Structures are given as structure tokens and as C-alpha cells.
Structure 1
Amino acid sequence: MDIETLLSYEWTLMTPEFIILGMATLLSLLDLFAGKKLQHKILGYIGLAGILAAIVSLFFLIGAPSANILEDTFRLDAFAKLFKLLLLVGSALVMFMAVQYGPEEGLTYRGEFYYLLLTALLGAMMMTSSGDLITLFIGLELLSLSSYILAGIRKENKKSNEAAMKYVINGGISTAFILFGVSYVYGLTGSTRLLDIAAQLNQLTNPQYEFLLAIAFFMIFIGLSFKLASVPFHMWAPDVYEGAPLPVTAFLSVISKTAGFVILLRIFITVFANVPAKEGETSLWLVMQDYIAFLAAATMIIGNAIALKQQNIKRLFAYSSIAHAGYILVAFTVLSPFVLDAIWFYLMAYLLMNVGAFIVIQLVTSHTKSEDLGSFTGLYRRSPFLAIAMGIFLLSLAGIPGTAGFIGKLNIFMGALVTEPAHYILAGIMIAATVVSYYYYFGIFVQIFFRPAGQTSHIGISRTLVLPLIICVTGTVLLGIFPNIAYEFFFHYLGNFEDFFS
């Protein structure tokens, strides 16, 4: 590629990515050369400023027409803009937590903590805009490798070491599955561009090709199921969530899960949704739909059922996260006419209520030096604001009306019923699983408001975490009462995702 061709590309499309890349590089250099002379929390604030600058640059791009560069390997379409916004906002909230985070044994590698969060974010952002299997995989691995290190960054903590080891092993297995499936797709089409693959697969009607495509479908889906922590590929999540630093747990729960659904939607809706099967009588997606529905149902049931017995708050939220992955898989399974906006809204609601809950958990556990549910007893008397905030997040996670979580679940539930044929069993399991979740969510609620305080000392709120906590509370309530705020933004700026397939 000559210099004229290189300069002819519209590189402004990658402005948010360039900002995050530049900031991660700057933080690594500052950490390397400043050493102990620099107060490392400053690096966190610099990283936060970089994320906010990337958000501003993205808003300037939202109203611009969709475009692509580098032979369609990088796409700035409506899908990329919307999910990139979720990733950036979620990462900004997590960075506030990282700045304030201080484990009992200290954090020797404070500088790495901040710029590895940025490199993980960069990988997730690249995935949202990837129109090619290779760039999707590179973005996924950049996110994954950074996350492995972050999970084990408390080197003196045995649980953190265990979390990193289990995460690396399971991540390696998932990568092998994904590459195995991708190799079949490439072998059948000779291309790695998603749109080219879709065009060629739509013309394949040979039953032998159908069998190979089914293998590719399963292999890629299984590999990504590890990333989503969906049943039966979920067993790494509780141990990793428990051993990782709290900001990293929040990052994995929200940002990593969002990125997992991004790559799932990019590959499966673009490539497999309309592939003919059974000699053109139906589509490969409809043939595989029952298998995905079974995994979605199992994920909801097992995630909520095992959460009932958890006494560690981080493990409880790990199983809660597994269950929520099952709810989103319901929308993915049925592929209703509003699947993308339903998943986007749910992930936004989940971002607000889950990060908000983890902020409260970080404040409480750092004060009590315990991660047991008992550390929340009498929280209402020790810190009324934290108790009310946590109560709102728990109500939203449970899907109680008046919260963003309720609207998100309602959209997915309605989507399961409007398709033809309607998925009554899957919708029924979703309701039953949600009812089961009330037990452990309201168990924490009872500890906070109706149990006498085990300790009487007041739990203060760090000034650093006041703003993100207010944002999460306000967003959770506002989107529960006025969900049209989000949907009007969605449809006004981004339309109906026509550019997703072109």
C-alpha cells in the first residue's frame, strides 16, 4: 500500500480508537519513566479524561453517514456507534472505581491497572466496528489478554492468581473453538469479510456444505459462549469474579459481556441468519434455533438457581451475571424485528444497575474488609444513601416496574411472543427464572433494610465515586419511567440498522 492510498482513507472514523490508543500509550510511558515520583492515581484520572474525550469524539460521529475504510474491515455504522457508546460510558464508570480502588495488601502494579483497562476497552471497540473475521478476532484477543492480566494483577493474593489461571485456561479453550469454526467458514468461502461470506453462503444449497456450516455454527457459538459465561461454559465466572479486583469484576461483568454480544450479533446475524438449509426450504438459523433456545433456558435456570446458595457477594453477582446473559440470549434466539434495540437497551440498563451495584459493593467491602452478605446488614442505618442506591439497583436487577431492568426484560419478553411462531415456553421460563431471582436479590434487600447492624461505624462515600453513583441511580430510575428517552435517541440518530447489511 503506497502512502497516497494510506492517506486517502477517512481516518477520522477511528478518532475514538486513536484517542484510547494514544492514552494507553501515554500512561504506559508515564508509568515507565516517572516511577515512584508520580502519584499513580493521577494516571487513572488521565485515563478517565481520555475515555471522556473519546465519548465526545463519538458524539460528533453519531450524526455522520455510515462509512467504512480499509476494504470494509473497519465499519462505522449505526451498530458500531451505539454499542461503542455503551462500552465507553461503562469503562468511564469502571475507571472511577479503579481510581478509588485500594486492596488491603496494596496494588504494586497501579500503572498497569489503568492502561490495561484502556487496552481491553480498545479491543472491545475494535470488535464493534469490525467487518472482517480477522479484525474481530484481533479485537477479541486484545480484550481477552488484557483481562487475563487484570484478573491476576493482585499478585500476592492467591484467589487472584487462581482467577487469572482459570481465566487463561478457559479463554484459550474458547479461542480454539472460535478459530476452528472460523476455519470452516473461510474454507467454504475463501473470504474473511463478513458481507462477502454472507453473500457466498446464501448461494450454497449442497447438503454437504450445510453439514460443515452447522459444525462452524456450533464451534463459533460454543467459543463465544465461554466469553458470555453462558451455561454450560460458565464455571470459570464465579472464581474469576471472586478473585479479580472489584473494578475488574465490574469490567468483566459489563464491558466484556457487552463485547461478547457484539461479536455474537456481528457474526451470526450477518453471516448465518439467512443461510439456506434443507435444500433451501428453511434457514440454518431456524434449524439451530432450538439448540440456542435450550442453552438460553439452561443459562437462566442454572444461573439463578445456584445464586440462591451464595454467601459471597461477588460470587452471587457472578451467577446473577450468568442469568442475565440467559435473558439476553432469549432475544438473540428469537430474532424478533426489534432484536437489536431490545439487546442494546437491556445492555444499557444492565450497565447502569450492575456498575452501580459494584460501586456500592466496593465501598462496603473496603470498609468492612469482608465480601460476605453479612457485611451489608444494617447498611440503611450506617449509610442511608448507599442503602437506597443499592436498593434501587437490586430492584432493577430483579426487574421490578419503574426501573430500567423491568423495561429491558419486558422488551425481550414481548419479542419472544411477537415472532411467528411465538416462543411461549422460552418466555415462560424467563418469567419463572426472574421470579426465582427475587429470592436472592431481596435477600440482600432484607439484609440492608431489616437486619440490625453488625457494626455501627458510618460508611463514608468517596468523593471520587459520588458522581458515577449518582449517574447510575439516575439512569436506572429515569430509563425505567421514561424509556422513550433512550429509544428516541436510538431511532432518531440511528434508524433501523439498514447499514448493518451493506
Structure 2
Amino acid sequence: MEQGIQLSDLAHLAPELTLVISAVIISLIDLMMPKKTSRTIIGWLTLAGLVVAAVFVALRLQEAPVELLNQTYRVDNFGNLIKLLLLGSTGLIVLMSVGWVKSKDIPHVGEYYYFYLPAVLGGMIMASSGDLITLFVGLELLSITSYIMVAMKKKDGKSNEGAFKYTVLGGISSAMILYGMSFLYGMSGSTNLGEINAQLSLYSGSFGALIYVAFFLLLAGFGFKIAAAPFHTWAPDVYQGAPTPVTAFLAVVSKAAGLALVFRVIYTVFFQLSASSSLPIEADVYLSLSVLAAISMIAGNFMALRQKNMKRLLAYSGIANAGYLLVPIATQFSLVHMNNFSEFIYYLVAYALMNIGAFALLLMIEATSGTTELKGLAGLYYRAPWTAVAMVLIVLSLAGIPISAGFFGKLFILLGALETQLYWLAAIMILTSVVSYYYYFGIIRQMFMRGGGEPEEVKATVPLRITLWTCAGVGVVLGFYPGLLLNYVESIFKLATDLFIY
């Protein structure tokens, strides 16, 4: 059995190695550059590293799964698709930051840019982990880097407060995850996800109660990482305090990596554990996920109704969307429904586009009026009509209006819930989506029906405008042609080899 990594295996790790090498080289360049020199070049180099890594990932699509480091790391289509999403989203966030980040707001501009590289690397490790140790290393790499990035506005009290809350609560959630993992290791004698499932399947009758303890500890820890209610309380304050592009990173990349982790762990570790036990372990696992999804949808949408700050509104919107994205995981693969992963990926891509686009617009408003309050959007149509049109397209997708990527994403998930007879969960999806119309259309009302906006033209760099229109345009294309992405994912994803580790 292979115990270490061979030279030939490095080709399979090209995306991860690209990010590591890029981070080292760019940090050295930043150190050697004079202090007063613009760090814009650091942003472009960071973006180049992300693009090269994404190309290496794309070249590995549709290949047979590869297991490295004694099955602790897997290169499969599940991980590759998630990695492309993480890299693409991070690339858009870095792009919209180029030319915007100023030393008066963020003292260490160079660090701001290249810290995205180890952060997204942690998410990629999470997506490909086949072992608890590798999984936790990736999780902590993403988490610790995120703690630092949230605190980069050193002179901002809200940023410091948000970073403190994020670090403390993040440490508690990591401890809960580690505690849950210790139970799994104690019961199975292994840290390999597939081996854990095999051992628990044999002895689930003896370890039934401890399996529940391990699952709920992991669920609580993962719930924090994806900002799912009731583990969401940190999100509004952290989102409001962090630099706007970092908030976009937390809302999209960090959440997507956490959801991918939940998907992998749930279907590898807890699948079919009731065979040798009188306890309905498997049914309870998926019921718990369904309840978590329902609570997130209800809490996120109803608490967003009261928000006047765009960052806090998008934070609660993200909490609600964490619930929608948990539904494909909770519905479970079955003979009548096998499209869980393609539904999950489609809506995750739509969610990434509409949130990054929304934060790109918020960055423009923040640069123009110095505020992230909803009132900063007042009269936007009269100041920047095309920018307002792009935001309308994004809001329609967020709300799930027909012929938008967000609409088809929710529709596919809803149909999956109905096929698996989770009628109560489907009903909550519909009702909470209707509730969300109020605060999403409040954004449009501000742009078109409110006066009092700043008289000057909306400030925006060219990269920022490109990011906004890329998110809006691709969202429209996915809305008109949802089969482009959905059919492609279904054609390359193989449940037996790309998700299950046995």
C-alpha cells in the first residue's frame, strides 16, 4: 500500500502546488517592493495564480479518480467541480478588488491580495479530503486565514469587533468538529472516511448512541462554518465589519467549501448505518439536515426583513441560502432521485454569481457615498442606469424570479424534495422564497423609486465593472440555458467513484 507521495503524483496536485508556489513568490515580491509603490501588480499576480490553478483543475475533469497519500486525498470530479467554483469565485473577488484597495483603509495591501491564495487552498483541500486529518488541516487553513483577512481594516472598530467574534466562535466550532471526529476515530480506529463508514456499519448496534453524539457535534461545527441557523449569529456582525471583498469571500467561497465538506462527510461516513442497528441512524441524520435547512430558510428570510444595512441583509440572505443548499444533501440519493449533486452545484454557481455581483455593486456604492446602508442605493438608476440594470438582473436571480439562474436553481432543488416526498420541506422553500421578495424588491425600490442619492457619478474601477457585468451576464445565460451546466455535471459525475469512498 502506498504510504507516501511519489514524484509522479505531483502532477495530480498541480493546482494546490500552484497556489502554494504563487503565495510564496508573491509574498517575496511584496517584501522587496518599496513601501510607497502601488500594490496593484500584486493583485494581478494573485489573479494569475488563481487562473493557472483553475486551468490545471479543468485539465483533470472527467479523469478516473486518483487517491494520494494512502487514500487521504482524492482527486475526483466531485472535488474538481467544487475547486473550479472556489477558484472562479475567488478570482472574481480579487478582480473586483484590483485598484480599489487603498493603504489608508487596509495598511498591508499586498498581504490582502495574496492571503486569498492560502485561503482558497484550504477550501480545495476540504473538497478533496478523504481523511479526517486532511479535512481538518484544510478547514483550519481556510478558517485561520479568514480570521486575519476580516481584521485587515485595523483602524475600523467594527472590523476589529467582527474579527474578534469570528475568531472566538470559529475556535469553538473547530473544537466541536475535532471532538466529534475523536468519537468517530475512537469507534472505528481509523481516520479514513470510507473505513470509518465500514467499521460503523458493522458495529452501529453497539455504538448507536455515540454515533449520534459524533454526528451532532459535527453538525454544530459545520453549521457554524456555513452560517446555518441557529449557528449563524456571528455572520451579520462579521460581514458588516470585514472589508467588502472579504465579506464576499466569506459569503461565497467559505460557505461553498463548508457545504462541500458536509456533502462529502454525510454521504461517506453516515450513509447506510442502520443495517446492523435497531436505531434509525441514517433516517435521523437526513431528518436533522432537513430541520437545519428549514430553520435556516425561515430565520434567514424573516430576519432579513428588518435590515437597513446591505451587508447585514446579504448576511441573512446567505443564511437562508445555506438552508436551500442543504436541501439537496438532505433529500438523499435514491432510485427515484439521483440528481442531488447536479442540483447542488447548479444552485451553488448561481448563488456565487449573484452574491459576488451584489457585493461588487456594494463596493461601488461604498466608494461613492462612504456607506453600506441600503439608502446608499437611492436613485442609483438616475446616476448610473446601466449599473442599476445589472443589479436588477442580480436581484431577480437572488429572489428566484422565472428565467433567472436563481429561479431554476431553486426549482430543481424543489422538484428533488418533492420526488423524495419531503413535502413539508418543499412547502417551507416556497413560502420563505415568497417572503424574500419583500426585501429583495426593496433594493430595486431604492434604485428606481427613491431620490436623495449622491449627485456625483458612481465611482467604479474597470475591473469592478467587469466583475459586476460578468456575474449579471453569466447569471442570465444560465437562466436561459440551465441545461448547459446541469447536463455537463450529470455527464461527468459518477456517484460510486466521485463521492463514495469505499
- TM-score past 0.5 threshold: yes
The aligned residue for residue 366 of structure 1 is 367
Shift of 1:37: 5.6
Structure-1 separation of matches of 2:191 and 2:163: 31
Shift of 1:46: 0.2
The aligned residue for residue 271 of structure 1 is 269
The aligned residue for residue 88 of structure 1 is 87
Shift of 1:349: 0.5
The aligned residue for residue 443 of structure 1 is 442
Q: Any residues of structure 2 matched to 1:65-76 within 5 Å, and which?
A: 65-76=64-75
Shift of 1:500: 1.9
Comparing 444-453 with 352-361, greater Cα deviation is found at 444-453
Shift of 1:461: 3.3
The aligned residue for residue 157 of structure 1 is 156
What's the CA shift string for 1:123-143, capped at 9, x where partnerless? 001111111110000000000
In the alignment, is the contact (CA less than 8 A) between 2:208 and 2:279 conserved in 1? no
Shift of 1:411: 1.0
Shift of 1:9: 4.4
C-alpha spacing 1:283/1:271, structure 2 compared with 1 (3 Å): farther
Shift of 1:103: 5.8
In the alignment, is the contact (CA less than 8 A) between 1:101 and 1:247 conserved in 2? no
Shift of 1:92: 0.3
The aligned residue for residue 311 of structure 2 is 314
Structure-1 separation of matches of 2:177 and 2:50: 30
Report the residue type matching 1:408 in the other structure. Answer: G
Structure-2 separation of matches of 1:5 and 1:219: 31
In the alignment, is the contact (CA less than 8 A) between 1:182 and 1:216 conserved in 2? yes
Which TM-score applies when normalising by structure 1? 0.95
Shift of 1:104: 8.9
State the SS of the aligned residue for 2:74.
Answer: strand
The aligned residue for residue 234 of structure 2 is 236
Comparing 490-499 with 345-354, greater Cα deviation is found at 490-499
In the alignment, is the contact (CA less than 8 A) between 2:50 and 2:91 conserved in 1? yes
Report the residue type matching 1:54 in the other structure. Answer: A
State the SS of the aligned residue for 2:460.
Answer: coil
Structure-2 separation of matches of 1:22 and 1:497: 34
Q: Which runs of 5 or more structure 2 residues have no equivalent in the other structure?
A: none
Structure-1 separation of matches of 2:427 and 2:57: 39
Q: Any residues of structure 2 matched to 1:406-485 within 5 Å, and which?
A: 406-419=407-420, 422-485=421-484
Shift of 1:172: 0.6
In the alignment, is the contact (CA less than 8 A) between 2:126 and 2:139 conserved in 1? yes
- Corresponding pairs, count: 497
Comparing 215-224 with 60-69, greater Cα deviation is found at 60-69
Shift of 1:10: 1.5
Comparing 29-38 with 83-92, greater Cα deviation is found at 29-38
Structure-2 separation of matches of 1:37 and 1:370: 27
Report the residue type matching 2:293 in the other structure. Answer: A
The aligned residue for residue 190 of structure 1 is 189
State the SS of the aligned residue for 1:296.
Answer: helix
State the SS of the aligned residue for 1:63.
Answer: coil
Structure-1 separation of matches of 2:127 and 2:187: 25
State the SS of the aligned residue for 2:153.
Answer: coil
Structure-1 separation of matches of 2:198 and 2:113: 42
What's the CA shift string for 1:178-216, capped at 9, x where partnerless? 01110000000110011111111111242x401000000
Structure-1 separation of matches of 2:135 and 2:20: 17
Structure-2 separation of matches of 1:489 and 1:229: 29
Shift of 1:496: 4.4
What's the CA shift string for 1:57-115, capped at 9, x where partnerless? 11111132221111111111110111011001001001112223336943211111112
The aligned residue for residue 330 of structure 2 is 333
The aligned residue for residue 247 of structure 1 is 245
Q: Does 1:256 align with 2:254?
A: yes
The aligned residue for residue 291 of structure 1 is 288
Cα RMSD over matched residues? 1.8
Report the residue type matching 1:464 in the other structure. Answer: P
State the SS of the aligned residue for 2:349.
Answer: helix
State the SS of the aligned residue for 2:154.
Answer: coil
Structure-1 separation of matches of 2:496 and 2:90: 25
The aligned residue for residue 377 of structure 1 is 378
State the SS of the aligned residue for 1:75.
Answer: strand
In the alignment, is the contact (CA less than 8 A) between 1:275 and 1:284 conserved in 2? yes
Q: Does 1:227 align with 2:225?
A: yes
Shift of 1:287: 2.1
- What is the identity percentage for the equivalent residue pairs of Structure 1 and Structure 2? 43
Comparing 241-250 with 37-46, greater Cα deviation is found at 37-46
C-alpha spacing 1:274/1:9, structure 2 compared with 1 (3 Å): farther
Report the residue type matching 2:294 in the other structure. Answer: A
Structure-2 separation of matches of 1:23 and 1:189: 39
C-alpha spacing 1:244/1:423, structure 2 compared with 1 (3 Å): same
Structure-1 separation of matches of 2:49 and 2:193: 31
Q: Which runs of 5 or more structure 1 residues have no equivalent in the other structure?
A: none
In the alignment, is the contact (CA less than 8 A) between 1:9 and 1:70 conserved in 2? no
Report the residue type matching 2:410 in the other structure. Answer: K
C-alpha spacing 1:19/1:8, structure 2 compared with 1 (3 Å): closer
What's the CA shift string for 1:307-326, capped at 9, x where partnerless? 11111110111111111101
The aligned residue for residue 398 of structure 1 is 399
Structure-1 separation of matches of 2:100 and 2:461: 10
In the alignment, is the contact (CA less than 8 A) between 1:78 and 1:497 conserved in 2? no
Structure-2 separation of matches of 1:168 and 1:82: 29
Report the residue type matching 2:376 in the other structure. Answer: S
Report the residue type matching 2:259 in the other structure. Answer: F
State the SS of the aligned residue for 2:300.
Answer: helix
In the alignment, is the contact (CA less than 8 A) between 2:101 and 2:109 conserved in 1? no
Report the residue type matching 1:328 in the other structure. Answer: L
